[in-house]
């Protein structure tokens, strides 16, 4: 899989980190193939995170992700899914490796600056969720 989905989350957009995060991703070898700015509706955020529906943090996560604009992006690189997960770091910034996007820019385990798809199947689904017009996945 050469493409994956990242989302610059509302905390990072609101804090003015957008440019630095995109520069970080480009420096790490990703090419930006699609991007938009969107304030997700509750229904969109619930659907995007449906896999977490039963988790205790689900309602808070949906509220956070709808709290302001975010920037979904389709990113391309060799081994894109695995590589992006390395570059963004662990979910909790306290556990993220130094120099990762979350270590640099995340506020907390919830307000953690960036999303990255966790598998090829989810990358396909998530790119299609925000960019249904994209037909060059793989």
Active site residues: 115
When asked if residue 118 is in the footprint of ligand IDP (CB under 6 A), the reply is: yes
- Between CA 76 and CA 68 the distance in angstroms is 26
* Tokens read off for 41: 């509706």
When asked if residue 109 is in the footprint of ligand IDP (CB under 6 A), the reply is: yes
* Contacts to ligand IDP from residues 45-104, by CB under 6 A: 52, 57, 61, 91
| Cα atoms found within 13 Å of the Cα of residue 13, Cβ hemisphere only | 19
- Between CA 29 and CA 76 the distance in angstroms is 8
When asked if residue 118 is in the footprint of Mg ion (CB under 5 A), the reply is: yes
Binding site for ligand IDP (CB under 6 A): 52, 57, 61, 91, 109-110, 112, 115, 118
């Amino acid at each position: 899989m050469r493409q994956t989905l990242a989302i610059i989350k509302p905390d990072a957009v609101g804090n003015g980190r957008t440019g630095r995060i995109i520069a970080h991703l480009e420096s790490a070898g990703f090419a930006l193939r699609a991007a938009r700015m969107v304030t997700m509706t509750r229904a969109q955020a619930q659907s995007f995170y449906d896999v977490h529906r039963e988790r205790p943090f689900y309602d808070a996560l949906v509220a956070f992700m709808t709290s302001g604009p975010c920037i979904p992006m389709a990113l391309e690189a060799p081994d894109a899914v695995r590589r992006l997960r390395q570059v963004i770091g662990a979910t909790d910034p306290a556990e993220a490796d130094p120099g990762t996007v979350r270590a640099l820019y995340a506020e907390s385990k919830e307000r953690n600056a960036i999303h990255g798809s966790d598998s090829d199947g989810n990358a396909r689904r998530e790119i299609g969720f925000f960019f249904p017009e994209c037909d060059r996945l793989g």
